């Protein structure tokens, strides 16, 4: 089989790596890929949102299956476009991807089907939002309705902060049309968990839980990032909570979408807050998480291609997933300054010395025969162990061998479990 993977981050490297272990896969292309992916797939210079070009490439190269990593092409309808011309593609269609593409849509759906969420109000008029902010209790969480590259959520502590955020979203339009509607919601407290399921339109197969470390510095200090590390399974989810999430969140959201005429096929990722009153949904994503995929897929023993095909054929009920009985820890190495401004183009050395961990590339590029930094998050180093502590030790031992100017990573990923 010939496969095209869309994306160029650590998540896509983990997907390509897993698919390259499948016996039936002859060739993998990745658009646009990165320097690490280039070692196991042919990288194609097409951006993730160039849907027309991706389609032409898939047709011309007789691609048997396309796997989409990031949210943007899903929300823009890559699946619909590919399916129109008979190409097989893994991911939800445009309507279904609205669960991630519009927070307002997702909230209304969850409210209608009694799924536990933070109480909220949505505003499309500046004046009405401002009037609400004048009289509400603080803190509250303000969110841009549409996609904002993970930057559209603000926790605000008083009216002054709230007005600043509202101005940025609705007047300065820093998120473009994504901020036309603003959600204002109650702040939830507890531990966060990422919950991954695969849905074939009918059946839901719960995969694995994970924990994402969002803040840039140790002890959860500093600004939010795309994720500075992850561990799986999530140590805060016991069997009871797992069942509760399946029954009260995943099943009703999939059947709710069905009632609304939406057939969901693909990965469904629930971002949860484990509150005192039980798990509540912070958001749904229509794809795998990054860097959670870098801990979830290394634990998956079942052939990923089989999982994807069973999803497309509506046969997930016939599949049982097998997992390594281990813990996984992934530490992200980022460029100094990330998530704000950072420099690129520094040579990365020592990668060839890594023996006991997987190295997933995110922001890397080839410059001649050298691998250089080309993004904020540069590498993800994942190790498996019989305990989180064992996996942690391996990761941090291996990281010592890697070097580039200004490299930064958290030292506390997976600590304390």
Binding site for ligand AMP (CB under 6 A): 118, 141, 143, 153, 185, 187-188, 192, 214, 271, 282-283
- d(Cα 112, Cα 241) in Å, to the nearest integer? 22
- d(Cα 75, Cα 284) in Å, to the nearest integer? 13
List beta partners, residue 314: none
- d(Cα 394, Cα 329) in Å, to the nearest integer? 9
Using DSSP, state whether 316 is helix, strand or coil: helix
- d(Cα 151, Cα 341) in Å, to the nearest integer? 14
SS3 content of the chain, % helix, strand, coil (to 5): 30, 30, 40
Residue 215 Cβ vs ligand GLY, minimum distance, rounded to whole Å: 12
**Of the candidates 117, 114, 79, the residue with the CA atom closest to the CA atom of residue 265:** 79
Residue 285 Cβ vs ligand GLY, minimum distance, rounded to whole Å: 6
289 makes contact with ligand GLY (CB under 6 A) = yes
100 makes contact with ligand GLY (CB under 6 A) = no
Output 90 or 154, the one with its CB closest to ligand AMP.
154
- d(Cα 181, Cα 347) in Å, to the nearest integer? 43
Contact range with ligand GLY by CB under 6 A, out of 13-21, 32-40, 53-61, 288-296: 288-296
Contact range with ligand GLY by CB under 6 A, out of 18-26, 128-136, 251-259, 287-295: 287-295
Output 283 or 390, the one with its CB closest to ligand AMP.
283
Residue 333 Cβ vs ligand GLY, minimum distance, rounded to whole Å: 16
Contact 361, 334 (CB under 8 A): no
Identified binder of ligand GLY from the candidate list 225, 285, 334, 335, rule CB under 6 A: 285
292 makes contact with ligand GLY (CB under 6 A) = yes
Residue 403 Cβ vs ligand GLY, minimum distance, rounded to whole Å: 26
Output 118 or 321, the one with its CB closest to ligand AMP.
118
Residue 290 interacts with, from ligand GLY, ligand AMP, none (CB under 5-8 Å by kind): ligand GLY
Q: Which of residues 148-207 bind ligand GLY (CB under 6 A)?
A: none
Contact 45, 32 (CB under 8 A): yes
Residue 37 interacts with, from ligand AMP, ligand GLY, none (CB under 5-8 Å by kind): none
Instruction: Please state, in angstroms and as integers, the Cα–Cα distance from residue 21 to each residue in 63, 109, 167, 205, following that order.
Output: 18, 38, 50, 22
Using DSSP, state whether 329 is helix, strand or coil: strand
- d(Cα 234, Cα 216) in Å, to the nearest integer? 20
Contact range with ligand GLY by CB under 6 A, out of 44-52, 121-129, 282-290, 337-345: 282-290
Binding site for ligand GLY (CB under 6 A): 212, 227, 285, 289-290, 292
């Amino acid at each position: 089989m010939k496969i095209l993977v869309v994306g160029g981050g650590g998540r896509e490297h983990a997907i390509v790596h897993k698919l390259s272990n499948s016996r039936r896969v002859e060739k993998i292309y990745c658009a646009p890929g990165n320097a690490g992916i280039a070692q196991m797939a042919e990288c194609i210079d097409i951006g993730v949102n160039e849907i027309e070009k991706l389609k032409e490439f898939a047709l011309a190269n007789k691609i048997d299956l396309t796997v989409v990593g990031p949210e943007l092409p899903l929300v823009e309808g890559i699946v619909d476009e590919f399916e129109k011309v008979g190409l097989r593609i893994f991911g939800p269609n445009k309507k279904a991807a609205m669960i991630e593409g519009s927070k307002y849509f997702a909230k209304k759906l969850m409210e209608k089907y009694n799924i536990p969420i933070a109480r909220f109000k949505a505003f499309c008029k500046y004046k009405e939002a401002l009037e609400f902010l004048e009289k509400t209790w603080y803190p509250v969480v303000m969110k841009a309705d549409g996609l904002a590259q993970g930057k559209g959520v603000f926790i605000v502590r008083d009216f002054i902060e709230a007005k600043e955020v509202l101005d940025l979203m609705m007047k300065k339009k820093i998120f473009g049309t994504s901020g036309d509607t603003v959600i204002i919601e109650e702040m939830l407290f507890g531990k966060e968990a990422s919950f991954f399921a695969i849905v074939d339109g009918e059946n839901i197969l719960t995969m694995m839980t994970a924990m994402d470390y969002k803040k840039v510095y140790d002890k959860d200090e500093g600004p939010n990032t795309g994720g500075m590390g992850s561990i799986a399974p999530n140590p805060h989810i016991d069997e009871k909570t797992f069942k509760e999430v399946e029954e009260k969140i995943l099943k009703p959201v999939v059947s709710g979408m069905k009632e609304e005429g939406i057939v969901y096929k693909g990965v469904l990722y629930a971002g949860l807050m484990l509150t005192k009153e039980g798990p509540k949904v912070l958001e749904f994503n229509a794809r795998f998480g990054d860097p959670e995929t870098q801990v979830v897929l290394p634990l998956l023993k079942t052939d990923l291609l089989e999982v994807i095909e069973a999803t497309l054929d509506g046969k997930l009920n016939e599949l049982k997933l097998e997992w390594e009985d281990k813990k996984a820890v992934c530490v992200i190495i980022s460029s100094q300054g990330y998530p704000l401004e950072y420099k690129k183009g520094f040579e990365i050395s020592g990668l060839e010395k890594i023996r006991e961990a997987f190295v997933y590339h995110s922001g890397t590029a080839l410059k001649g025969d050298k691998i250089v930094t080309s993004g904020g998050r540069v590498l993800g180093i994942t190790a498996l162990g019989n305990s989180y502590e064992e996996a942690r030790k391996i990761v941090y031992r291996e990281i010592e061998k890697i070097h580039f100017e200004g490299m930064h990573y958290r030292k506390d990923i997976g600590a304390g479990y």
